Structure 1
Amino acid sequence: MARALPGDDLVRAPTFNATRAITVGAPPERIWPWLVQVGVRRAGWYSYDLLDNLGHPSARRIRPEWQDLEPGDVLAMSPDGKHGINVYSLDYPRSMVWGTPGDTTWVWQLDPQPDGTTRLLTRIRARIRWSPTSIAFSALLEVADFWMIRKMLAGLRERAEQNVTSGEWQDTWQPANASS
């Protein structure tokens, strides 16, 4: 938890700082496409779909039409697709940073392990400006973060591991902006 991750410097002195991790029985290249396609009206968030995907089931397969993600894109978190979190940076297949510098970052770090697994870390850092509304939001964030992120990590693991064991993965897949 004390380890520095990409994007940590974008939110100084956060009032909310949560790091979660899980080991996934797949290499980073097989987890990455699941992360790239998240969002409302896309693959969902692999969590509690009733709460975070408008009741629609999260995707159970990689969708090519959702694989193009670039810095500056918005990962939708609202039904109209206009509100969400900005993609700040992508380093295929190692890290993604989403957020708004100075306010919030959501980082994904994929660390390959010697045994072929991946340690998948996520960190949310936020600088909450205190007001009566923000106190309620902060309390909700504290409670919801643990359960929602835990479920999302488990959903990512399930999908990536199922994908590996079923042999459905195409080893030649790479995002268009990946360097060789």
Structure 2
Amino acid sequence: MDGALKSSARIGLLTVGIAAVTYSLLLRRWCLTWGATAEEAERALLGDGLLPDAGLVATRAVTIDAPPAAVWPWLVQMGSGRGGAYTYDWIENLFSLDMHSADVILPQFQNLKIGDILPLGTTGPRMRVEVMEPEQALVFRSEDGNWVWAFSLRPEGEETRFISRNRISTPDAGPLGRLVNLLIMEPGSLIMERKMLLGIKERAERLAHAGWL
């Protein structure tokens, strides 16, 4: 039995090792830059200076067939107990984040301003609005300073490039912690953020095409 357990353990470690190497070499850059051009991934954005030595940087983007004015209202109402995050609510709420993605503009949450604090549920980090340039940029930073989440809106003709950048401090969590971050947290963040980007895209396009602007 001991021999079988040791053999299973070796196979498991080998499998994890192969997965880590494969992901790092072939999939990691795609995961961390989904939808963004090489230039967008390297471009400086407002908010970068709030956490210049981030251990992890993810820049993801989508093209929205609508002007920035149709995107902005969805951004400023984001948050727990507000407009939600436009992603998989059921996953967010497994962590008690109180996310309920709105499908309409909520006037009561359109007055966001610098210094406002938005909690992520009752147990998540509290995010402070650090930069706000209407229809151009919105940047949040966690109160502990370990996470900066920046949104950039760049008009391109009648369309908008919507860029989301996460800068995260990654203190050494040991080999196991690094593996969890690499193989679970990073791909998981892509799944959630891709849904969010596409969710805002769908809502903004619907808003613009309905003649709301």
What's the TM-score bracket when you normalise by the shorter of the two chains?
0.7 to 0.9
Query: Paired residue for 1:174?
Result: none
Tell me the residue number matched to 1:89. 131
Matches within 5 A, 1:1-180: 1-53=41-93, 57-78=100-121, 80=122, 83-100=125-142, 102-114=145-157, 116-131=158-173, 135=178, 138-139=181-182, 140-167=184-211, 169=212, 171=213
SS in 2 for 1:160: helix
Instruction: Spell out, residue by residue over 1:127-162, the C-alpha distance to the aligned partner (whole angstroms, 9 max, x if none).
Output: 111235964773443122111110000000000001
* Structure 2 residue runs without a partner (length 5+): 1-40
Q: Distance in 2 between matches of 1:42 and 1:136?
A: 34
Deviates more, 1:87-96 or 1:46-55: 46-55
**1:24–1:86 CA distance, 2 compared to 1 (3 A):** same
Measure how far apart 1:20 and its partner are: 0.3
Q: Partner of 2:191: helix, strand, or coil?
A: helix
Which structure has greater helix proportion? 2
- Aligned equivalents of 1:73 and 1:137: distance in 2? 32
Matched position secondary structure for 1:52: helix
Residues 41-99 of structure 1: per-residue CA shift (max 9 Å, x gap): 11110000101255764100000001111122122311x38843211110111001111
* d(CA) in 2 for partners of 1:74, 1:17: 23
Name the CA distance, whole Å, in 2 between partners of 1:14 and 1:56: 27
Task: Name the structure, 1 or 2, with higher relative contact order (CA <8 Å, separation 6+).
Answer: 1
Q: Give the Cα separation in 2 of the matches to 1:107 and 1:83.
A: 16
- The separation in 2 between residues aligned to 1:106 and 1:136, in whole angstroms, is 23
Distance 1:146 1:83 in 2: 19
* 2:148–2:167 contact (8 Å) kept in structure 1: yes
Ranges in structure 1 where 5+ consecutive residues have no aligned partner: 172-180
**Equivalent residues, number:** 167
TM-score with structure 1 length normalisation?
0.83
What RMSD in Å do the two structures reach over aligned CA positions? 2.2
Output the CA distance in 2 between the equivalents of 1:160 and 1:30: 5
Q: Deviations over 1:6-35 (max 9, x none)?
A: 011111221110000100011111100000
Stretch moving more, 50-59 or 87-96 = 50-59
